[in-house]
Structure formats: structure tokens, C-alpha cells
Amino acid sequence: ITFKISEGRRAVVGEIDFAGMRVFPREELETYLGLKRGAFFKAAELNSGIERILEMYEKAGHPYCQLNLKDFELSPGGRVNFTLQTIEGPAVTVNEIDFAGLGNTRPYVLQREMEISPGEAYNSEKIERSVANLDRLRFIRVNEEPQILALSEASRGRLTMPVEEVQASKAEVALGYNPGEGEVAGYLTGLFDFHLVNIFGTGREGKVRWFRRDPHSSELEFSYTEPYILGTRLNVRVYISQVDFDSTYIRNSFGLDLDSRVSYGVTAGAGFSFERTNPESWGRSFLASEEKWKGKLFLSLDFRDNGFNPRSGSYFFAEAGYASKRNSATKFFSPELAEENITSAKGLAEYFAPLRRNQVIAARVFIGGVGSSADRLPITEEIYMGGLGSLRGYRQDQFSGRLIFWSNLEYRLLPDPDSRLFLFFDSGYFSRETSEGWSYGYGLGFRLGSKLGNLAFDLGVPLKEGFSQAKLHFGVASNF
């Protein structure tokens, strides 16, 4: 069987007319349609242009707008002529907002995350941003598209936000193993993290965290967060903590952080803290007793599509701090200065690039530095790096210095929203008065949602030392 095909002349865009428009001028509609007279006609470009015009009307408060093609013809000369009929529909005001599926959470908790309020004109862009804000709440998930339903009049609407409450409070237990080196035996590290999220449906949070870095080091912290204090967008977090570092010093801290979302995805804040550090054991021979008042400013930009398992987007965080410290002599050590000023700055950047379906490249970069008015920076002020969260394959906080840089590169496979498998390569650099150096680690891991909770596994191998010095971390986080 032979099929004879005659392709004919390629059609080009001819005369385009617009009818029924009142909100936007013809020139603006032509720009959004994107078809140029005399160019080759492509149906896909026409459909894309129609979608852009509908989005433009939705942002202008006309969610019921319809576009129809009329008098569509192909002339003998190969020109495509048509009229785009616009039925704009009424300008809609959002009079009510309904959070369908809400249980224990109080509606006002979600309403304050909305970019649109009752009484405002319908705006699809604000609604999309509201969905992103709700998705960033750990206890809420938006699984369906919001809908606008007409009330008694077509110009008055009820915005329905289909939401699902998620069990976000968690109790996490994690164990790690560091193999011995030389005559030093291997040892276990441990973490206990109890985090209450959305207390009594109000969005409040409380947290208790204990971490055992090695047999001689541990950390303990209690914190509480009060969101939207006094009806404003200001969040307040108070915390107390204690750090016992390698039998060298004990630091007790009290702090208060204030932050507020200033625009979509952008949060700015300030913090104040008081710290008292006392040397212990062999630290008494080279450390002074310290009292420090510290202030800081910070800024974050979060444009990730999901906070736990992002598939695309970016995240940035920057902080600058200034501290005034009073040093007191001990029986075995006299400080260089009785009063000292400390400046610090740090920044973190994350980027997530989607590849094929369920595959993501994730990159993280951190840089931090600290300076002192004294000639020598004490170890109590240094920035630390190593282990989970920075340079895997090495002991937790194995490296420290006045300048720290580290990066993570991961190839991720995301089988579902709560799980991921990944391969990683980490690099890190430290610099201090007497030494500096680079280190590298690689390995694999997973985060797996299960009936037992979220399972976490990381196996990191230091590049130079090899597999015999690999570090293993395993944890279980149960949500409730």
C-alpha cells in the first residue's frame, strides 16, 4: 500500500481580531498572545498564548474569564485568520475563605499565612503564594488546587483551600559510630530530639534537644516559639542551652530571636543572647572565664517548593553578629584583654535542580568567619565543621577555625514526598592561626517514610583515610 502525501504550503499567521475585551487594551492582548503576523502558524503557540491571557485575567480578578475562537479560517493564500472572543466575566471579590479538611488547627493560624484576605479582589498570583506559604508549615499540606465558588452574586466568591493536617510533632532518636584511631577505641554518638509542633492547634512550637558528640562532649537545649505575637507578623523564640565541650569548657546561654516575613519567601530578624563560659579540667590552663552579650541580624530567602524534600528552588541564609565579651582571670590563666569585641558573619546557599522524573541535583555551600579585637582567637569563638550537616565522613565538629567553608553535592532519587535515596560528595576547608587544610568525604544514604517513622541512614567515607574510617549514622523519627 502506498500513501501519497501532499504537504501543501505552510500556514502563516494572518489577521487576528479581538472582541469583547474591556479590562485590557488590544495591544496588551496581542503581546500576551505572542503570535506575529506573517510568522509560521503553530497551534501549540496559540494554545500557550491563550493560557497566558487567561492567567492575566485571573491575576486581575476575573477567574471566570473565557476565550473562544470565532471565524477561524485558512485563506487560499495560506493565511490563518480568526477572532478571539473574550467573555471577561465579573470582577470577583473574595468574601470568604474556607479551609476544607481542617481539624485541630485553628483557622486563624492558616489565615495569617494567606497573601489574600476577605474583602480583597481575587488574584491568582496571591493565591499561589498563599499555597506556598501553607506548604511551608510543617503541619499543613495542600493537596488540591484552590477553588473559587460564587455566592449569591457572581461578583462575590468563597475561596476554598483544600488542606490536610500532617502529624509534624516528632520524637527523634539517632545513633552514630566513630571507629577508633590508634589506641583510641571507637565510640557511639547519640541524639534525642523532642519537637512539639502546632501546640493546641495554635502554631506554637516547643523543643528539647540533647546531643552527645563524643564521650566528653554534649549539648542540651530547650526552646519555645510564639508565632505572630500580639496579632503581628512577628515571631518570638526563646531558648536556653548548655554546651560541655571535650571537658575543656562549659557554656550556658540564654537567648531571644525575633523574626518576621517581610515579603513572599523573605524573612528578616534579629537576635540577642547572653553567654557565660567557664573553663574546666585542662581548659583552665589556657582559657579565661567569659561573659558575653551578643546581637545579630539575619535574613533568609526561601523559594523551595517543599521544605523537607525539595524538587526545585533555592534557599539563602545570611547572618552578621557583634558581641562584647568580658574576660576574667582564673587561677591558672590570665587573658590578653579584659574586654574583647567579637564580629562574625556566615552564609548558607542551597539550590535544587530537577533532572528527569523524581531525580534531583542538590547543592549546598556554607562560608563563615569570625574576628576578634584580641591577637589570638580562643577556641570558644571558633566555627566548627564536620559530621552530619556539613562534612560527612568525619567526626562531628572535628575541624574548627576562624574561617570555615564547606559544600555538599548530592544526586537524589525521590520515590515519594517523604523519602529519598542519595549519593553525596562533600568538601570542607578550615583556617586558623597555626594551620589550614582541605578535606573531602563521599558516601550514600536515605530518608525513608515508614510506619515506624522516618528512617535516616548516612554512611560517610573520608577520601584520604578510606573506608576503614567510615562514619555511620542511623536514626528514627516518629511523628505524632
Burial of 33 (0-12, 13-18, 19+ CB in 10 A): buried
Give the pLDDT confidence of 85-111 residue by residue, as tens digits. Answer: 999 999 999 999 999 999 899 999 999
Return d(Cα 427, Cα 409) in angstroms, integer: 9
Whose CA is closest to 480, among 194, 221, 100? Answer: 194
Residue 153's contacts (CB-CB under 8 Å, 6 or more residues apart) are none
| Those residues with Cβ within 8 angstroms of residue 187's Cβ, 6 or more apart along the chain or in another chain | 177, 178, 180, 214, 215
Biggest CA-to-CA distance, the chain: 104
Grid coordinates belonging to 298: 539575619
The 10s digit of each residue's pLDDT in 135-152 is 888 899 898 999 999 988
The per-residue pLDDT for range 213-229, each reduced to its tens digit, is 888 889 999 999 999 99
Domains located in the chain, CATH noted:
12-87 (3.10.20.310), 93-165 (3.10.20.310), 170-479 (2.40.160.50)
Chain-centre distance for alpha carbon 399: 26
Asked whether residue 418 carries a pLDDT value surpassing 90, the answer given is: no
Q: What are all long-range contacts of 304-309, with beta carbons under 8 Å and residues at least 24 apart?
A: 304/350, 304/352, 305/132, 305/135, 306/135, 306/417, 307/135, 307/136, 307/138, 308/138, 308/417, 308/418, 309/414, 309/417, 309/418, 309/419, 309/420, 309/447
Quick one: the chain helix, strand, coil %, rounded to 5?
A: 10, 55, 35
Q: Over the chain, what is the mean pLDDT?
A: 91
Contacts of 241 by beta carbon, 8 Å cutoff, 6+ apart: 219, 220, 221, 222, 251, 252, 253, 255
Site of grid cell 477561524: 72
382, 400 contact by CB (below 8 A): yes
**Cα 103 off chain centre by:** 26
Q: Which three cell numbers stand for residue 184?
A: 583510641
User: What does the pLDDT average to over 19-24?
Assistant: 91
Number of Cα atoms under 13 Å in the Cβ half of residue 42? 10
CB neighbour list of residue 232: distance below 8 Å, 6 or more residues apart:
260
- The pLDDT value recorded for residue 477 is 66
Q: Radius of gyration (Cα) for the chain, nearest Å? A: 29
Q: Is pLDDT of 4 > 70? A: yes
- Quote the pLDDT of residue 471: 87
Mention every residue, 6+ apart, whose C-beta is less than 8 A from residue 294.
271, 272, 273, 274, 275, 321, 322, 323, 324, 342
Integer angstrom CA distances of residue 384 from 127, 318, 390, 399, 406: 42, 17, 9, 6, 11
CA distance 347 to 369: 9
Residues 262-308 pLDDT 10s: 988 899 999 999 999 999 888 888 888 999 999 999 999 999 988 77
What's the pLDDT band for 479 if we cut at 50, 70, 90?
A: low
The residues near 93 (Cβ < 8 Å, ≥ 6 apart) are: 61, 119, 120, 121, 122, 155, 156, 157
Report how many helices (DSSP H) and strands (DSSP E) the chain contains, helices first: 4, 25
pTM of the predicted model as reported, rounded to 2 decimal places? 0.80
